[in-house]
Structure 1
Amino acid sequence: MKNFLLAICFLFISVETFGQQFSQYNTGTLYDSFENPARAAFIPDTTYKIAFNFFIPNFNSNLYLTGNGQVPLKSRAFDGKYLNTGLTIEQGRFSRANLNANVYTIMFKVFTSLDGNSEVGFSTQTRAEGRGLFTDESLLLLNGSDDFKKDDYSNILNNSYTFQTYHQISASYREKISKNFAFGVKLSALLGIQYQKLDITQSHIQFDRANDAADITLQGQYRINYTSGEFNKRDIIPSLRNPGAAISIGTAFKTRDNFNIQFNVKDLGFIHWSKRSIVSDFNTTRTVPDINTYRREDNLYATTYTIIRSGDAAKSFITPTNGKLEISANKSYWFDYDKRFKYSPTVILQKEVFYDGYTAALVNPVQYNNFVGTLSASYNNYGIFSAGLQFMVKAPNAEFYIGSDRLMQSVSLAGAAGRSDSQINKNTSFTGADFFLGFSLKFGQLIEHPMNSSHIPLGDRPGFLKRLWNSIFHPGRDLGD
């Protein structure tokens, strides 16, 4: 329990590590083509045949925290003390934390067939996924027992959290099957790094004020794949100890009135954590001493830890990745005859497969020549509204972008990290941060149609999917690009 709360404090200090964002949709960047497999990274007669990030990490990072826990956690993380502003007792209030990370270390893609308009890619990335719920009373307890007027409480410490990190090694294939339809797939091998999950389903606390102590009873399950306190940098090195697999599938369809419709199933997969992992089904009572002294945090943590580890048993288990279903619609509008000034809005609907989260987003990029400015807005089922900005330089064979999908919250959190009292004490609808950055180049031979070719073409065959499509729906007739 407290392990999670302190982890949240750490997350606020390390906001550059975690995230998720929408601003890359329909940008045609290399990152966009790996995240949305049906999107093309190359344009015939315009770009070179090979795209690479040259080992420069492309990443996005995001976290948010809702509820009354915002001020106490910010004050504890940045000012070394708890400000219990707004925390309640026995009102069923809780705070929600969510974080995601996606860091591409290698992105490499090749245009393999002009007639088939197909692309093959390889990537390596590291992901982090986490979410949790914790009650107001859990935070209040970390500041001692003075705010608890009764001596006996039930189910006020029913907290839960899940956190996992893993490496992802992927191969991708994208093909334009017809003039208006493209299909892409990304197959991934997963290598688990770290996993923790805590579910407290029942709890009870009884204060012994005469002895400055409290008896805590917790019931639930705890799972962890490593030995606490012994995890080190060597454990981050990829290994086959915790294997898994995932798939992303994307389709892109262009309508007669030039709307681009995308449907994606993203990162649907699992990880098998090794038999050296621990599963603890606990239902135990322990006494917390010195609950009002300066050692109360350490004592609460130590007592809680002994409870949740009281049922330890070595056991393997399988966990899902945070797969998503997405559908989007996009259309471009040119504002001048020379096609230098373009507006290309995208509407996105996203649903998490294994959780209850869903999000609607609107991405508004405005492009002038090679410069793109994007205003994005999103709203999810937890009542969180976010707005962000992105700046991009998008030349045919070079791209760079930087931005945040939660700009104001990121600025506010940076102020809190700088020990600004006004930002630390601010309790808004949510506290959050978001940052993303990317770069890639294209090189090699220019992709040319035969009529424009500066060399003698050797001849391309249509891609496999296009040949299959033609054999079923259009026998004897090639649809062309």
Structure 2
Amino acid sequence: MNRFLLVVCFLFVSATTFGQQFSQYNTGTLFDSFENPAQTNFTPDSSRYVSFNFFIPNFGANIFLTGNGQIPLKTRAFTGRYVNTNLTLDPNRYSRANADANTYLLMLRIFKSLDGDQEIGFSWQTRSEGKGIFTDQTLMLLNGAREFQDGVTYTGLNNNYRYQGYHQISFAYREKFSKKFSFGVKLSALLGIQYQRLNINQSSLQFDNANNTALLGLQGDYRISYTSGKFNRGDLIPNFRNPGASISIGTRLQTRDNFIIQANIKDLGFIHWYGKSAQNVFNNVASPDTVPNVNGTRLEDRLYATAYQIVRSNGQQTGFTTPTNAKFELSANKSYWLDNAMQYKYSPTLILQKELFYEGYTAALSNPFQYKNYTGTIVAAINNYKVINAGLQFMVKSTNAEFFIGSDRLLQTVSLAQASRKSESQINSSGFYSGADVFMGFSLKFGHVIEHPLNANLIPIGERPGLLKRLWNGIWGKDNGD
């Protein structure tokens, strides 16, 4: 079981890296324009018309762990030791782990026309999404059976986790319908990498010290998209074995009093995992399996082997379809110049986010302070698990170049980094949660400068409104030539 727990709780992030960083809202970066489809990355009469990351990854990754399992898992992961600090035998006490990751390997965006501010973009990214819940009793077993009484039936092993990783290849289109309203869409082909899901709905564990054994019963289901133990680096290469699709839709409205309202549906889609995937429905609670030598060392290995045998029993090869972790986001932003020379600007953004297929929701406030080409952002957020985040971002952004780096969980990231260096004070410090978050991005623009016709050295002839605007005008009976 230790492999389930340690991998799920701490190594989600190694696969690749979460989508939207709240600090990036309304920054106008290339990353922002792909995550929020109605957002522009260009400034007419100033910036050049092609924006590219030159294959330098733009990424963001975050993870958090709540509950009594923080200290035991950190000591085990970073020192090899294990302590039961704070763990109880209460079957209703558990730890929760969440990890998300998003890496843009390729981002290319092109400004197509001043009539409608049309933009098209292409991107290739890899994503991973993971959630897990693990009971105190399960984590306590990592340190042996000494806390468990002989002959007592324990029912607190009802754990579950879900993880999926995939490539996302996208086409984006953005158009400005009027001076106040913009619309964008991002259409994506998904190529699944791997998927795992384990649900244990009922469990029982009883130790028999006289016979040096234990009886383990589990009821639930397990899905995996590949042969366990045979996944290798070659499987990370994009292929059509596990196809899927998703869509992101964004709108941007500027009100009369200069508030910017954005509404986004992000990554609404599915992946179909191929027919050689495995699905196991198991239930041996009525006739539990025997765990041998429970009084010996490395009990966790024997428990894992027995649990693995139960979980992988009664299996069949079958395809199945899973949703992506789609989200709805609503944000409001307004900018304020803090001096008459218009060098200092404050642009707070309030963001509300709701997961469409899961229970998660988050409220965040991003507070960027800009001086010329430099921006420092303070961001605060809270989610439905009562996890409070505070972070910082530093960004250098000119008309044709941008670089940003930051963390939306700064203190927790520093603490976890110190714990990974075997700092005893940080390893033994839990607080409400442990976590980490880091993101970074870079892009440049090239090509000729986008110029309005009155200022242009090269005047285009015969431009037409964009496709979406022509459809819009046709619905409302407007002249497309206007």
The corresponding residue for 1:405 is 408
1:377 aligns to 2:380 (yes or no): yes
The corresponding residue for 1:438 is 441
Name the Cα RMSD after superposition: 1.5
1:13-412 matched pairs, under 5 angstroms? 17-20=16-19, 21-149=21-149, 151-284=151-284, 285-412=288-415
- 3-state secondary structure, aligned to 2:350: strand
Query: What letter matches 1:136 in structure 2?
Result: D
Query: What letter matches 2:212 in structure 1?
Result: D
Q: Conserved in 1, the CA contact under 8 Å of 2:168 and 2:189?
A: yes
Q: Distance in 1 between matches of 2:71 and 2:2?
A: 17
Aligned residues: 478
Query: What letter matches 1:345 in structure 2?
Result: P
Q: Conserved in 2, the CA contact under 8 Å of 1:9 and 1:77?
A: no
Query: What letter matches 1:421 in structure 2?
Result: E
Q: Which range is displaced more, 272-281 or 211-220?
A: 211-220
Q: Distance in 2 between matches of 1:255 and 1:9?
A: 44
Q: Conserved in 1, the CA contact under 8 Å of 2:413 and 2:437?
A: yes
1:476 aligns to 2:441 (yes or no): no
Q: Distance in 2 between matches of 1:462 and 1:282?
A: 59
Among candidates 457, 460, 476, match of residue 454 of structure 1: 457
Q: Conserved in 1, the CA contact under 8 Å of 2:150 and 2:209?
A: no
- 3-state secondary structure, aligned to 1:218: strand
List per-residue Cα deviations over 1:360-417 (Å, max 9, x = no partner): 0000001110000000000001000000000000100000000000000000000100
Query: What letter matches 2:312 in structure 1?
Result: R
Q: Distance in 2 between matches of 1:18 and 1:78?
A: 21
How many angstroms does 1:42 deviate by? Answer: 0.8
- 3-state secondary structure, aligned to 1:115: coil
Q: Conserved in 2, the CA contact under 8 Å of 1:165 and 1:192?
A: yes
Q: Conserved in 1, the CA contact under 8 Å of 2:133 and 2:160?
A: yes
List per-residue Cα deviations over 1:131-187 (Å, max 9, x = no partner): 010100000111111111352224310000000000000000000011100000000
TM-score (norm 2): 0.97
Q: Distance in 2 between matches of 1:51 and 1:350?
A: 28
Q: Distance in 1 between matches of 2:9 and 2:382?
A: 25
How many angstroms does 1:471 deviate by? Answer: 3.1
How many angstroms does 1:10 deviate by? Answer: 4.2
Q: Which range is displaced more, 14-23 or 33-42?
A: 14-23
Q: Distance in 1 between matches of 2:88 and 2:181?
A: 54
How many angstroms does 1:312 deviate by? Answer: 1.1
List per-residue Cα deviations over 1:170-216 (Å, max 9, x = no partner): 00000001110000000000000000000001001110112332110
Q: Distance in 2 between matches of 1:388 and 1:307?
A: 43
Q: Conserved in 2, the CA contact under 8 Å of 1:15 and 1:434?
A: no
Q: Distance in 2 between matches of 1:429 and 1:171?
A: 40
Q: Which range is displaced more, 350-359 or 331-340?
A: 331-340
Q: Conserved in 2, the CA contact under 8 Å of 1:143 and 1:292?
A: no
Query: What letter matches 2:152 in structure 1?
Result: D
Unpaired runs of 5+ residues, structure 1, are: none
Q: Conserved in 2, the CA contact under 8 Å of 1:15 and 1:433?
A: no
Q: Distance in 2 between matches of 1:225 and 1:174?
A: 35
Q: Distance in 1 between matches of 2:9 and 2:474?
A: 58
- 3-state secondary structure, aligned to 2:143: coil
Among candidates 423, 427, 438, match of residue 424 of structure 1: 427
How many angstroms does 1:478 deviate by? Answer: 6.5
Query: What letter matches 1:168 in structure 2?
Result: Q
- Taking every aligned residue pair, what percent have the same amino acid on both sides? 61
Q: Distance in 2 between matches of 1:442 and 1:150?
A: 69
Q: Conserved in 2, the CA contact under 8 Å of 1:9 and 1:76?
A: no
Q: Conserved in 2, the CA contact under 8 Å of 1:71 and 1:425?
A: yes
Cα 1:363–1:15, aligned 2, differ >3 Å: closer, same or farther?
A: farther
Cα 1:99–1:414, aligned 2, differ >3 Å: closer, same or farther?
A: same
Q: Conserved in 1, the CA contact under 8 Å of 2:149 and 2:207?
A: no
List per-residue Cα deviations over 1:462-481 (Å, max 9, x = no partner): 111222223333623867xx
The corresponding residue for 1:465 is 468
How many angstroms does 1:130 deviate by? Answer: 0.2
How many angstroms does 1:244 deviate by? Answer: 0.3
TM-score (norm 1): 0.97
Query: What letter matches 2:79 in structure 1?
Result: D
Query: What letter matches 1:141 in structure 2?
Result: L
How many angstroms does 1:4 deviate by? Answer: 2.1
Q: Conserved in 1, the CA contact under 8 Å of 2:344 and 2:371?
A: yes
- 3-state secondary structure, aligned to 1:451: coil
- 3-state secondary structure, aligned to 2:77: helix
Unpaired runs of 5+ residues, structure 2, are: none
Query: What letter matches 1:329 in structure 2?
Result: A
How many angstroms does 1:458 deviate by? Answer: 2.6
How many angstroms does 1:456 deviate by? Answer: 2.8
Query: What letter matches 1:81 in structure 2?
Result: R
Q: Distance in 2 between matches of 1:75 and 1:270?
A: 37
